[in-house]
Structure 1
Amino acid sequence: MINNNDIKKSFNKKKNFWEIDKIKEGFKKFFNENNRYPTATEIDECSYLPASRTLQRRFNGVVGLRQALKLDITDFTKGKVRSEKAKNVNKRAYTLEKNIYDFLNKKFGVEFVHREYFFSDDHRTRTDFFVYHKHGQFSVDVFYPSNKHNFIGCLNSKMRTYRSDVMMQYPVIFLQMNENLKREDIDKVLINKKNKLRSDQQVMCYEEFKNFCSKKTSNTVI
């Protein structure tokens, strides 16, 4: 059985060096836990693997390390691996958005929930859902960050999108759907961000979003 402390002891501080056998053990451990090998971002976040900078110096990056370890897949950004990943992402996105759409329809009524709502005719200023309730409106932008690092990138991208005047007319919910992301980690990211959310912008997890919606009064169809 691989011990995290034993792996860390193989790190020679004077030479800033990890033995290849210990790195291989770390990769095997990650594979056993996740049924796949780690990406570059996950390597940096993994306590029993060296920093990606170390891999860059020794192996010319993560791809070079995978080649040195003689893994079947050396580059996760190309070919069949990338294609399968895109297919899985699209399938997950469709399922998540359908579930949210069904939830919103049940709460507010199909007449008051707009899916793929365009704020203008340029077909770029769009939001996933636009909802009317008795006392106003709000928009919902759904995303599934794979980890905290990815969450930061996704949120920054969405905040840039929602900077235009036409997109800032209504409150917006950035709805992150990864249940493994803890609220305290999200709050730390938001606190440390230089570019803060506006007062009418919120990041929510799904349970928080459902609670938010439960406090809104639906319109009545005449």
Structure 2
Amino acid sequence: MITNYYLKMEPRTTKNKWTISNIKDGFERFFRDYSRYPTATEIDGCDYLPSSRQIQRRFGGLPRLRETLKLKGVHDFTKGEYSSNRAKKINKRSYELETQIYRYLLDRFGKPFVHREYLFNDDRRTRTDFFVFCSNGNFSVDVFYPSDKKNMTGCINSKLKTYSSNHTLQYPVIFLMMNDEIQESEIEAMIKKKTKPLKDYQKIMTMNQFKKFCEGRKNSDKSSNPTNVAQVI
């Protein structure tokens, strides 16, 4: 994750001035700062390199540009060992985060009322990470870790499509955003910019917001049937 990158931004060079020479200089500058070459997302946040869209139009994509510049290392980050290692890292992080949330929910609500990998129907595809039964309103939780603000927008757009069926619309859903470097104000700004707003019962929360939300939920009576609990948020 780049943390100090935007502190050194300069006006982006105009489109007509991009040359192989100054593009390579930009890549080498990034390498000096971060000991690796940038990904497409990082290029779009870098004012001394052309945008990824410009690179696609002019060079046929970032992998081809890396080959043209004769950069060392991996040319295509979407294939091979780099992609495999990245997938393993993401899967490991997902498991650890979901385990963290599961333990929190168990401690807060009790095992009978917290369902992991909850299936909304019998097709075994429509599911949510967690479903919690409460006396003052059931809710589901979808945990995700965006790498940055742009990635967060893409994640939410994808999740809104997933949670659009009649089965998933029966219950409120919390999209639990687990990247601590993304602030609540940035989430609010992203929501305001969306052309298709979230529904009233769809909320994006940080972990701190989620804990406050859970504090307002009432534990179900242990003698009650979880399936009979009201669905309110």
TM (norm. structure 2) is 0.84
In the TM superposition, what are the counterparts of 1:102-141 in structure 2 within 5 Å? 102-141=103-142
CA RMSD of aligned residues (A): 2.2
Unaligned ranges ≥5, structure 1: none
Q: Which residue of 1 aligns with 2:47?
A: 47
Q: Is the 8 A contact 2:145 2:179 kept in 1?
A: yes
Runs of 4+ aligned residues of structure 1 deviating over 4 Å after TM superposition are 32-35
Matched residues, number? 216
Q: Is the 8 A contact 1:133 1:219 kept in 2?
A: yes
- How far apart in 2 are the matches of 1:145 and 1:220? 36
- How far apart in 2 are the matches of 1:78 and 1:126? 29
The one-letter code of the counterpart of 2:48 is Y
- How far apart in 2 are the matches of 1:8 and 1:213? 45
Q: Which residue of 1 aligns with 2:69?
A: 69
- How far apart in 2 are the matches of 1:135 and 1:167? 19
The one-letter code of the counterpart of 1:26 is G
- How far apart in 1 are the matches of 2:182 and 2:34? 16
Q: Which residue of 2 aligns with 1:93?
A: 94
- How far apart in 1 are the matches of 2:29 and 2:102? 39
The one-letter code of the counterpart of 1:123 is R
User: How far does residue 66 in structure 1 lie from its aligned partner after superposition?
Assistant: 1.2
Q: Is the 8 A contact 2:191 2:197 kept in 1?
A: yes
Q: What do the CA deviations read for 1:141-197 (whole angstroms, capped 9, x no partner)?
A: 111111222211111111111111111111100111111222222222211212111
User: How far does residue 82 in structure 1 lie from its aligned partner after superposition?
Assistant: 0.9
Q: Is the 8 A contact 1:4 1:48 kept in 2?
A: no
The worse-fitting range, judged by mean Cα deviation, of 196-205 and 36-45 is: 36-45
Q: Is the 8 A contact 2:55 2:61 kept in 1?
A: yes
Judging changes above 3 Å, is the alpha-carbon distance between structure 1 residues 164 and 58 closer, same or farther for their aligned structure 2 residues?
closer
- How far apart in 2 are the matches of 1:57 and 1:194? 27
The worse-fitting range, judged by mean Cα deviation, of 162-171 and 180-189 is: 180-189
Q: Which residue of 2 aligns with 1:155?
A: 156
Q: Which residue of 2 aligns with 1:218?
A: 219
- How far apart in 2 are the matches of 1:53 and 1:201? 32
User: How far does residue 220 in structure 1 lie from its aligned partner after superposition?
Assistant: 3.9
Judging changes above 3 Å, is the alpha-carbon distance between structure 1 residues 94 and 199 closer, same or farther for their aligned structure 2 residues?
same
Q: Which residue of 2 aligns with 1:184?
A: 185
Q: Which residue of 2 aligns with 1:84?
A: 85
User: How far does residue 25 in structure 1 lie from its aligned partner after superposition?
Assistant: 3.9
Q: Is the 8 A contact 2:137 2:217 kept in 1?
A: no
Name the % identity: 50
Q: What do the CA deviations read for 1:76-116 (whole angstroms, capped 9, x no partner)?
A: 01111111111111000000000000111111111111000
SS at match of 1:16: helix
Q: Is the 8 A contact 2:116 2:130 kept in 1?
A: yes
- How far apart in 1 are the matches of 2:29 and 2:211? 37
Q: Is the 8 A contact 2:133 2:139 kept in 1?
A: yes
Q: Is the 8 A contact 1:16 1:54 kept in 2?
A: no
Q: Which residue of 1 aligns with 2:229?
A: none
TM (norm. structure 1) is 0.88
